[in-house]
Chains A and B, each alone.
Chain A
Amino acid sequence: MALEKELETYKNKLPELKQHEGKFVLIHGEEVVDTFTSYEDAIKEGYKKFGLKPFLVKQIHSIEQAQFVSRFITPCSV
């Protein structure tokens, strides 16, 4: 899976990140860079700071929220 290290960091840091519920966190490797009010701001900062290197932007939820798609599709990666 892509962004494996960043997802592990998110999981490990979630107890501290919970205070920012609903905000978007920017993570690179094991570093939690910052939290942002909007998805767009977090993405902008990610590209500004890390260019084309891997980084993760994820909305903080103490209980993971799922997206729902009623049509028959198969989620995939490129």
Chain B
Amino acid sequence: MPHFTLQISPQGAILNALIGLSEARQGALKAAGQAIPNLVPIRALVDTGASATCVDPSVLQALNLSPTGNTMVVTPSTGGKPAAVDQYDVGLIVPPADRNQVPLIMTTLPVICAELLVSQGFHALIGRDVLRQCVFSYNGSIGLFTLAY
């Protein structure tokens, strides 16, 4: 099983990743003769407290995305009440630390747009929707975390 191990930062399990268009949206842009935006490099926090992956608006704006979904979300900022939010389909790539290993690639992932992430030091929360396909190990005693996929 491909995996990588990184140091736990003061903010938690932080990793570098790339966010781009979903495979299907890339195809639609090509068919329309439009340019495909470059992948956006991001810092992401692996967050077991998030049931869905959340991305800062600056990243989604750079990809010129339109919503293709809608869901209810409960966060401390919604006062514990569900709020309706748009969802966007993206592609997620987490490059491995070791070049001999394959990256974690999700070609089509629904994400929620969420503000206040950049001020907390990252652009995205990697939620349990991604972790569902992974083994996530957090070893606080030696300050390392491992993601296998």
Does B27 make an interface contact (CB < 8 A)? yes
Complex: A51 Cα to B25 Cα, angstroms = 8
Secondary structure call for the B interface: mixed
Q: With a CB–CB cut-off of 8 A, which chain B residues contact A71?
A: 47, 49-50, 75-76, 120, 125
Q: How far is the CB of A18 from chain B (nearest CB, A)?
A: 18
Interface membership of B24, Cβ < 8 A: yes
Q: Are B24 and A69 in contact (CB under 8 A)?
A: no
Number of interface residues of B (CB under 8 A): 52
Q: Are A57 and B69 in contact (CB under 8 A)?
A: yes
Q: How far, in whole Å, are A78 and B67 apart by their CA atoms in the complex?
A: 8
Q: How far is the CB of B92 from chain A (nearest CB, A)?
A: 13
A30 contacts chain B at the CB level, 8 A cutoff = no
Q: Are A75 and B112 in contact (CB under 8 A)?
A: yes
A75: chain B residues at CB < 8 Å are 73, 75, 77-78, 83, 85, 112-115
Q: Roughly how many angstroms separate A55 CA and B88 CA in the complex, as a whole number?
A: 11
Please determine whether B57 and A76 come into contact, CB atoms closer than 8 angstroms.
Answer: yes
Nearest-neighbor residue (CB-CB) of B22 within chain A = A43
Flag if B70 contacts A58 (CB, 8 Å).
yes
Using a CB–CB distance below 8 Å, which chain A residues touch chain B? 1-3, 7, 39-40, 43-44, 46-48, 51-52, 54-58, 64-78
The 4 closest A-B pairs by CB, nearest first: A70-B49, A73-B114, A75-B85, A66-B72
Please list the residues of chain B having a beta carbon within 8 angstroms of any beta carbon in chain A: 22-25, 27-29, 31-32, 34, 47, 49-52, 54, 57, 60-61, 65-78, 82-86, 88-89, 107-108, 110, 112-117, 120, 125, 127
A-B contact pairs, 30 of them (CB 8 A): A1-B86, A40-B107, A43-B24, A43-B68, A43-B89, A44-B24, A47-B24, A48-B27, A51-B28, A52-B28, A52-B29, A54-B66, A65-B72, A66-B74, A67-B50, A69-B52, A69-B127, A70-B75, A70-B76, A71-B50, A72-B76, A72-B77, A73-B125, A74-B115, A75-B73, A75-B78, A75-B114, A76-B57, A77-B67, A78-B113
